A = this chain, B = another copy of it.
Amino acid sequence: MSKNNAVDDLHIIERIANFQNMDQFKTAMDGFLSTLGFDCWAYTVKMPDSFNGSSFDIIHTWNQEFVDRYRDIHAFHCPRLKHLWQSEVPLIYDKKFTDNDLKLLRHQPVKVKAVIEEIIDFGYHGHGFSLTTHGKHGDKGVLTLQNRDKRKDGIDAISLSFHFASAFFPLMHMKYIELKGWRPPGSLFPLTERELECLRWAADGKTAWETGMVLNVSERTVNFHMANAQKKLMASNKIQAVARAILYNLL
């Protein structure tokens, strides 16, 4: 973390903003994280390609066996992990955390219980934390840093790393999404102001006729703009057009 002052921060922000390719990104990621002094880290990215399916990337220094198993048993059914993905509340792993989780186990259905037990058993220990960041386009990232090595006095060293990672992980994630070139499907063509207005009113439940009243144009014109928006968003109907516009944060 070097000198840890605001000039450094500006420098880091600029550095992240200027990564040109994925190699630079990954090298820097490695650099940042290894200086934080953890045994292992994982960065998981979720990119929603539709409302019925998402693609995931996982970059990690865990052993592959664990990650595969983790995915196969649908570990994200564990309530705490589910919550991690949905909220911005970080998880801090320590003794107390594990105790709490074991307590929660009693109130879980058998299926979920088995999953959680296996996760804890397999590798859900070690000191560290998980952070979630929510991107603009429905994309999410989770960063996990852990010390498996019990001999290391991780718990007291976590804090600075936690704060530091909180500050820069959202930026790293944004840059990753950008470099990855991922876009929600059908976001290539810029929408005009009129098209956006029509989409907005449609999202608020207005019919084409009502939108026409609001915008002081004919119903026909609203349908015209809506049809153009649909083409640009590669949507098969108004509903998908609105859904994509929202997902892509256009409204």
Residue ranges of A at the interface with B (Cβ–Cβ < 8 Å): 4-10, 13, 17, 50-52, 86-90, 92, 94, 96, 127, 129, 133-136, 155-160, 162-164, 166-167, 170-171, 174, 199-205, 207, 235-240, 242-243, 246-247, 249, 251
Please state if B203 and A243 are interface contacts (CB–CB under 8 Å): yes
Please state if A167 and B171 are interface contacts (CB–CB under 8 Å): no
Please state if B10 and A92 are interface contacts (CB–CB under 8 Å): yes
| Cβ-neighbour of A242 out of B86, B243, B249 (below 8 A) | B243
Please state if A174 and B88 are interface contacts (CB–CB under 8 Å): yes
Q: Point out the residues of chain B lying under 8 angstroms from A8, CB to CB.
A: 159
A–B complex contacts, Cβ < 8 Å, 5 sampled: A6-B127, A17-B89, A51-B204, A160-B163, A203-B239
Q: With the chains together, A52 CA to B196 CA distance in Å? A: 11
Q: Point out the residues of chain B lying under 8 angstroms from A129, CB to CB.
A: 6
Residue among A127, A133, A243 with the highest chain B CB neighbour number at 10 A: A243
Please state if B203 and A51 are interface contacts (CB–CB under 8 Å): yes
Q: With the chains together, A199 CA to B52 CA distance in Å? A: 10
Q: A96-B10, A237-B205 are in contact. Are A88 and B52 (CB under 8 A)?
A: no
Nearest chain B residue, comparing its CB with the CB of A91: B13
Min CB distance A205 to B, Å, is 3
Q: A52-B200, A52-B201, A243-B243 are in contact. Are A159 and B88 (CB under 8 A)?
A: no
Q: Point out the residues of chain B lying under 8 angstroms from A237, CB to CB.
A: 205, 207
Q: Point out the residues of chain B lying under 8 angstroms from A247, CB to CB.
A: 246
Q: A159-B9, A204-B52 are in contact. Are A246 and B246 (CB under 8 A)?
A: yes
